Structure 1
Amino acid sequence: MKIVVGYLPTPAGRAALRTAVEEATLRSAELVVVQAHHTRRWARHTNAQETEAALSEDRAALDASGVGYELVPVADDADPADVILGACERTHTQLLVIGTRRRTPVGKLIMAPTTQRLLLEAACPVLCVKASYGTD
């Protein structure tokens, strides 16, 4: 069994990774971590030092979890939704885990394009995790 997780070293991405590790442990599944790196799309939400610290901490937690995993990088010019959906199809994924962040009332009317595509096009159940999940 495989679980795919869309990961960025942001609060939402980190919550998704934590949840995916928990689900993989419960289900005796392996993880496929689709990992984007610092791009202009989300650079405004992080700074380089925080990003590197989060990456290091998350890699250590993933290694310590004992869950088997595969890292799938997202190229700068690639659409993250395409890469995530491709990973789901290739591995016959049982669950896709993605992170979401808080939005203003107006922002709730407009869903992020990547999130919308994943929710509408994934052929497996999708678990959306709030950025603040597990940090309170």
Structure 2
Amino acid sequence: MSILVGYVPTPEGEAALARGLEMAAALQQDVVVVNSPRRGSTVDAEMVDDEARERILGAARAAGVEATVEQPLHGSDIVDTFEGLVASTGASMVVIGLRRRSPVGKLVLGSDAQRLLLGLDVPVLAVKPTA
């Protein structure tokens, strides 16, 4: 079993990573860090580079957790990407970070986080950054 952590290099992503590693250590599970760029994107500021990958893996080692970083491409539906990873890894849980948005922003733009919370068949832990 493993825990999937949705990660982008933001305070929300860092909060998800920290909590995911904490949960994995407590449950004695591996972590799969999911950093998924949108298909067709040639430059993506949310992509993890080699330095960030090593930092993430180092944090996992420090927590006593085995971890991998996956960067599957996704189309318009990130939920499909996570569903596939849940199935292929046997994940017991998904951890994602949430950012503050106004109700109008949620209505107009939708929310990938909301779609993950409602669409996945495993528990989803949503965390916010502390500051």
Same fold by TM-score greater than 0.5: yes
1:17 maps onto 2:17 in alignment: yes
- The residue number in structure 2 matching 1:122 is 120
What's the % identity of the aligned pairs? 37
Checking the alignment, whether the CA contact within 8 Å between 2:37 and 2:44 is kept in structure 1 is no
Matched residue pairs, number?
128
What letter matches 2:17 in structure 1?
A: L
What letter matches 1:92 in structure 2?
A: G
CA distance in 2, matches of 1:82, 1:101: 21
- The residue number in structure 1 matching 2:56 is 58
1:72 maps onto 2:77 in alignment: no
1:129, distance to aligned residue in structure 2 (A): 0.5
1:61, distance to aligned residue in structure 2 (A): 1.4
1:35, distance to aligned residue in structure 2 (A): 1.5
Q: Specify which of 78, 96, 99 is matched with residue 98 of structure 1.
A: 96
1:58, distance to aligned residue in structure 2 (A): 3.1
- The residue number in structure 1 matching 2:29 is 29
1:90, distance to aligned residue in structure 2 (A): 1.6
CA distance in 2, matches of 1:10, 1:25: 23
- The residue number in structure 1 matching 2:6 is 6
| Structure 2 residue runs without a partner (length 5+) | none
- After the TM superposition, which parts of structure 1 deviate over 6 Å for at least 4 consecutive aligned residues? none
The CA RMSD measured in Å over matched residues stands at 3.1
Q: Specify which of 80, 85, 88 is matched with residue 86 of structure 2.
A: 88
Q: TM-score, normalised by structure 1?
A: 0.74
1:41, distance to aligned residue in structure 2 (A): 9.8
